[in-house]
Amino acid sequence: MAFEIPNFAPALPEIFVFTMICVVLIVDLFLTDKNRSITYLLSQATLLGAAILSVAIQSSVPEYTFSGTFVNDGMGTVLKLFIYLSTAVVFIYSRDYLIERGLYKGEFFVLALFAVLGMMVMVSANNLLTIYLGLEVLSLAMYAMVALNRDSSVASEAAMKYFVLGSIASGMLLYGMSMLYGATGSLDHTTIASVISEGSSDDIVLKFALVFIVIGLAFKLGAVPFHMWVPDVYHGAPTAITLFISAAPKIAAFAMLMRLLVEGLGGLVEHWQDMLIILAVLSIIIGNVIAIAQSNIKRMLAYSTISHIGFLILGVIAGTSDGYAASMFYVIVYALMSLAAFGMIMLLSRKGFEADTLDDFKGLNQRSPWFAFMMLITLFSMAGVPPTVGFYAKLAVLSAVVDIGLVWLAVLAVIFSVIGAFYYLRVIKFMYFDKAVDNTPINSAYDMKVVMSANGVIILLLGIYPTGLIALCTSVLA
């Protein structure tokens, strides 16, 4: 039986990233701390090269390779491009922060690139094992990143909690996948969907498998009641790591949600729809309510993330192409907002000082009117205030659930979104109406200031003209 060599072209970006990780790893061994910028530039070049390859190999029809376990399609290309963009921005924001804390090492960049590789595999997975492989590459890299600051007991504790809970969730997901394989006789998404549509599998086993898979997905997304790791990890990890965890991995988690539930288990939509409604309702309520009580802005943004995950899930609940496009639009917008919010924390931080409490934002308008305005745009967008892009993101997912008759769910989401606006407005009040506790000048690298400004302006411009990004999301999911 002759071995057929697979078509490597659809996986060129992944192959390139893995090759560059090996190059970065070897080159970094011979560099001193003074020359660490070479590692930084190589890492940015890796992301740029992967983006160019992803655009170059895009196809109007899905391309399958490696015996159907890997797919190159429109959704995968768009999500990968935003993963590269998010990671590149994280590297820019993080450089000064890491240098001041003695964490500007090759390990940060290598682990981040391994995480990106895991996300890329997840985004293009067309097989249960491929998804699990990508998820574990991502998870193992992130566990190590959270514990990167070995001298911090808080970071070590957060990493341990993340590792233990993440391992349990991975076990749940793997158990659900094994039951799904037992019921359908296949690991391939297309075959699984076909078997379910024919009704030739054990219905009870499928439902049990679905429960375990949804639990695993909910943990990776950070949805209630599997959210317990989010506040501790966001608070305990160095802000540069929190910034990374809060953005790109959410895009990959959305891709996993689409690949598993929509493409593989689309025939069980009436079952996972009910489960997701519970997750969305609990996430929106608990995320917004508990965020009000936080005095640490990283923990506040962690609970804010939980509420945003609830909104993201609303579009998937709809079970329509418009709903899926709305969720895709929402996760991209959320990544941009999260980059801006945590980037601002890093902008205000300096050696020996973490600007991670609400009081640290008092009087920001007196210190820097421009960056206070950038933070204002970001917070308004997170709260869903027009004309920022966050308003249109929420409107899109709410419209999707209204279209399928779940008006009560949309009303509940709006009510708690209004309640949640309080903790965003509180930060704005501190920035504009309170006297500054710290009058230290804001000193940061020129490139960080430029990218931070661009980040805030893009959030505003996408709000004024959201149709381009919405149309892109709709076209790749049509």
45-79 pLDDT, tens digit per residue, is 999 999 999 999 988 888 888 888 899 888 999 99
Q: For residues 221 and 182, is the Cβ–Cβ distance under 8 A? A: no
CB 426 within 8 A of CB 355: no
Q: Per-residue confidence at 100, pLDDT binned at 50, 70, 90? A: confident
The 3-state DSSP composition of the chain as helix, strand, coil percent (nearest 5) reads: 80, 5, 20
Token pair 């209630």 is found at 224
Provide the pLDDT confidence category of residue 391 given band limits of 50, 70 and 90: very high
pLDDT-derived band of residue 21, with 50, 70 and 90 as boundaries? Answer: very high
| Chain segment 152-206, per-residue pLDDT in tens | 888 889 899 999 999 999 999 999 999 989 888 888 888 888 888 887 666 788 8
The stretch 241-269 carries a mean pLDDT of 89
**Are residues 91 and 112 in contact, defined by beta-carbon separation less than 8 angstroms?**
yes
Residue 41 has what pLDDT? 93
First-to-last C-alpha distance (Å) of the chain: 39
Is residue 296 helix, strand or coil? Answer: strand
Instruction: Give me 290's structure tokens.
Output: 């508990």
Whole-angstrom Cα distance, residue 233 to residue 210? Answer: 27
Which ranges of 101-238 does DSSP label H, i.e. alpha helix? 106-123, 128-146, 153-184, 189-198, 203-221, 229-236
Give pLDDT tens digits for 419-458.
Answer: 989 999 999 999 888 887 777 777 777 888 899 999 999 9
pTM above 0.85, yes or no: yes
Question: What rounded mean pLDDT belongs to the chain?
Answer: 89
Q: Calculate the dihedral angle through the C-alpha atoms of 357, 358, 360, 366, rounding to the nearest 10 degrees.
A: 170
Q: What percent of the chain has pLDDT over 90?
A: 48
pLDDT band (50, 70, 90) for residue 365: confident
Per residue in 301-345, pLDDT tens?
A: 999 999 999 999 999 998 888 899 999 999 999 999 999 999 998
